Chain A
């Protein structure tokens, strides 16, 4: 048991206790949390900083507004409903189409049909706070549904794959691509059964994947090789992630991005407590990279410079 702990220590693997005590508590001031926990605010800040985000169709804040949902979506074929303060992808409803025959029923990304009433119930659950971190009242965001880029078509099952970059003091430290599976119900969340694939910081090419803490070579549903996929606009993705520090003020941050077919990389959300599975996906620990960033840290560097430095430093 101790030998395993020692091996992990040598590999520089970051544990939950260390992450919480040494990074989150030290670098992430509590007062900045709303900037990432409230997705409506995140979106506002990101737009102000000139970052690309999915368009917002509407916000539902009160139970009485739930009925306005149909007006908000109008004739839109696809959209996403998500809680502003949700965590771990809970409570997100992805609508990809409408039923041809039945009026007022919508098709989810899973292919399931869902009635307008069921969507309204879901929205009122969101507003009631069922998915919010604190259990308090929440807002439901209705926004643009990303048409995902064909890059990852081979290695994802329904849903939208996203790119998670862990940013330490403004320097991108590690990245992974999260690929939805049948098990994860189209959601790009590792604890729900999505595959995480490490990314070479230098080139933006994917490495091996991890599924439920086990290393995998192939996507469990499509059978395609997870590694060797080149992420487009990698430089831009790293630069946008690096800006996360300026936008949120958080020194230990997870930035989640998706690549839209038409609009390129968009910021989906940011996370003040990014998970540690990214280490398994990359087959290496975070501690060494964090130590390196502490060495080369330069407070005056611009996000673009920081992204370039990370690319150079953490190239495989």
Chain B
């Protein structure tokens, strides 16, 4: 019965830990590996215009739904202007307003995005468009064209391809020529195509954006046709009919409205500049957390002050050391002094590095032991004797540091990082075992402690593990689950296989 509780508890802990971990990793995008960087594009749009005499209102379409990209941040630089973001029919619009302005004006809007394949067109299925009102003689031409194209196509995609092929035909038939007579720009051309699609009751809209590639001082907007086939949006290059968006195409806005409208200004011009740079994946994930309001699960130690972070980076490795300890004690079955002494020694090894750590630790314990044996002759009472050992340990540490400094070995200075109380207790325990059970037992347990400390040090020193635990502290629940399970492990310890070998042989 109790066994079942243990399994349920361990499973519960593991499931909670792993699901938070998976959510943070997969959805929020926290990186598994340290120093992982992602490409971030910053697109700056500059709106230039000459101010008129009265109040000025500027409206600029800005990215709303950007398949393949996620917004990291956005801001506007516009001295003296009131700034707001509204939702219009074509998506989000940035709006600047000022009562009075003089001379040439420039307003900047800047957005940073990074690639994220999980961002999709989150639009709902659009309704069928109303039949467009087209005046004669264009209506007849449109009807003929649509009927003709429909005869030569099977579905929405092929209909669009066929339509675009005909509209782009270098020697167009008279109907197409008539329809295109008013289309002078690319956008107007797309508009004609959209009208034709609407006549066939196919939802379509124009998308404007640019393919992101490296650094561009002035990027020009490209218009594509977006067609809904009942399931999802398809993209068509209006000039060629090809149906895949160019790589890294950032959709800036949709619809037929102009990019910018300025009330009270003239000579409006919009320039786009694109800059690519790299940003730590953790920083990106952090902004994800705040944007999604996922702070309950997305809590992160990165929000702590740097100094506190450094403390926790070390503290969070102690459970790893405890895990090593549990495995070494209960599964391998190695004797060691004190329950957590090896873990604390391993912590000290982090500062001294392994070789020096082992040398210093052994020296300290050996010297301490010999002095402890001298003290034993004095027949001191227990607590004064322990205190004496502690004081001797401190003095020895000081002497080792001084001596190594004299000899020009700075590593010896780090001896001061050893937990002296732990060392004093180790010396005391070891000397008692030495007296009672003999040198062999004492040295064996001492070596056992050192071995566990080294194992703990190795695991606690894996940088990747440190990053993983620091970024995903919920993994501690998984460790806890494992430790709870080992707590009910009733199998043999590895050393017992040797101990009971006489029984197995028979």
Contact = CB atoms under 8 A, between A and B. Distances in A.
B500 A17 contact: no
* Contact residues on A (Cβ < 8 Å of other chain), bracket: 35 or more
Given A5-B497, A283-B506, A284-B503, A17 B490 contact: yes
B35 interface: no
B382 A121 contact: no
A309 B464 CA distance: 61
A128 B504 CA distance: 44
B4 interface: no
A262 interface: no
A63 interface: yes
- With most chain A CB atoms within 10 A of its CB, the pick from B499, B500, B506 is B500
B492 to A, nearest CB: 4
A47 interface: no
A4 B493 contact: no
B127 interface: no
B374 interface: no
Nearest to A183: B438
A261 interface: no
Interface string B435-454: 01110010000000000000
Nearest to B429: A135
Interface in A1-23: 1, 4-5, 7-9, 11, 13, 15-18, 21-22
Interface in B373-429: 379, 381-383
A283 B490 contact: no
B381 A1 contact: no
Contacts of A214: 502
B488 interface: yes
A87 B489 CA distance: 26
B333 interface: yes
A90 B490 contact: no
B339 to A, nearest CB: 13
Nearest to B384: A128
Nearest to A26: B2
B503 A279 contact: yes
B496 A16 contact: yes
A244 interface: no
Interface in A113-160: 117-118, 121, 124-125, 128-131
A15 B497 CA distance: 9
A214 B501 CA distance: 9
Contact of B500 (A90, A121, A130, A280): A280
Given A8-B497, A280-B502, A17 B492 contact: yes
B490 A15 contact: yes
* Contact residues on B (Cβ < 8 Å of other chain), bracket: 20 to 34
Nearest to B441: A191
Interface in B473-506: 487-494, 496-504, 506
Contacts of B12: none
A129 B497 contact: no
Given A5-B491, A22-B490, A121-B379, A15 B496 contact: yes
A100 to B, nearest CB: 26
Task: Classify the interface of chain B: helix, strand, loop or mixed.
Answer: helix
B76 interface: no
A17 B486 CA distance: 9
Contacts of B382: 125, 128-130
B330 interface: yes
- With most chain A CB atoms within 10 A of its CB, the pick from B437, B503, B506 is B503
B297 interface: no
Contacts of A210: 502
Interface string B298-335: 00000000000000000000000000000000100100
Contacts of A283: 502-503, 506
Contact of A17 (B489, B497, B499, B506): B489
B359 interface: no
B503 A15 contact: no
Contact of A16 (B436, B487, B493): B493
B503 A21 contact: no
Contacts of B506: 11, 283
B504 A11 contact: yes
A4 B499 CA distance: 11
B131 interface: no
A285 interface: yes
B383 A128 contact: yes
A289 B376 CA distance: 46
A55 interface: no
Contacts of B213: none
7 contacts: A1-B494, A13-B503, A16-B493, A21-B488, A88-B436, A131-B432, A283-B502
Which 3 A-B pairs give the minimum distances between C-beta atoms?
Answer: A128-B382, A18-B490, A121-B379
Interface of A: 1, 4-5, 7-9, 11, 13, 15-18, 21-22, 63, 88, 90-91, 117-118, 121, 124-125, 128-131, 191-192, 210, 213-215, 276, 279-280, 283-285
Given A8-B492, A16-B333, A17-B492, 13 more contacts: A7-B504, A9-B492, A11-B504, A13-B504, A17-B489, A18-B490, A192-B436, A192-B438, A213-B501, A280-B500, A283-B502, A283-B503, A283-B506
